[in-house]
Amino acid sequence: MFQQLTPVIKNLLIVNIVFYLGSQFVPIAYNYLPVFYPDSPHFKIWQVITHMFMHDSLSISHIFFNMFSLVMFGPMIEQVLGSKRFLNFYLISGIGAWLLQMGVQGFEIFNATGSFFPLHQGLDISTLNTANPGLVQEIYTSRMLGASGAIYGVLLAFAYLFPNIPLQFLFIPVPVKAKYMIGGFILIEIYMSLSRPGDSVAHLAHVGGALFGYLLLKFWRIRKGIY
């Protein structure tokens, strides 16, 4: 099966596994490779990329389900787009996921402090008199990691290109067309992001990955549902 994987999928799988195993032996990597809010003192520019290859060290299901989805859906997308364009698609979807998540957090900080970047403006966030000072502190210390944003871009692309292919999972007893199943997944993420804003799962990042994936397909003028 591994020999049958397309080139970019194979290399993404290897890189994610190497990052995951390496971070188990060098746990300090979790201080530098996940991505933080851009105004946080923990933020480094390389995190915009490296966070896509980091996964929760306490839950193997995080990396397993992301890599399972990548292997199941990614090869057909790479064959349609070509390896170079697919890699760009994957990375841009992941960056788009980060942009949406950080954008929402930025507005939360702005509402609390009157600035999107209070630390860079010399404000001491620990002494801010806000309605929810804990929220500001949490945003500055929380980290975002995982390939899920990029994976949701891949899922969206699969539903876009192969809308009528039937999919079936263990928890769904009957085959469901890709456009309905994946569309349902995205709607659930939108609902979760609105109903559980304090959730540790970055649901908005999943939505952002799908959104940027869709915009990229439209920008490239990839025809919808022709496969």
pTM over 0.75: yes
Given this model, what pLDDT does residue 17 score?
Answer: 97
> 175: phi > 0 → left, psi -120 to 50 → alpha, else beta; which?
beta
CB 140 within 8 A of CB 43: no
Q: For 223, which DSSP code?
A: P
8-state DSSP, 144: B
Tokens of 116: 């999107």
- Return the pLDDT at 180: 94
**Could you give the C-alpha distances from 68 to 13, 16, 30, 88, 135, in angstroms and in order?**
9, 12, 23, 20, 34
CATH class of the region 2-219: mainly alpha
| Residue 147, pLDDT score | 96
Q: How far apart are CA 161 and CA 215, in angstroms?
A: 14
Q: What is the pLDDT along the chain (227 residues), one digit of tens a residue?
A: 455 799 999 999 999 999 999 999 999 999 999 999 999 999 999 999 999 999 998 889 999 999 999 999 999 999 999 999 999 999 999 999 999 999 999 998 888 888 888 887 776 666 565 556 677 888 899 999 999 999 999 999 999 999 999 988 756 778 899 999 999 999 999 988 777 655 556 788 999 999 999 999 999 999 887 56
Residue 1 has a pLDDT of: 47
Q: Give the pLDDT of residue 24.
A: 93
Rounded CA-CA distance 84/93 in Å is 14
What secondary structure does DSSP assign to 68-117, as a single string? HHHHHHHHHHHHHH-HHHHHHHHHHHHHHHHHHHHHHHHHHHHHHHS-S-
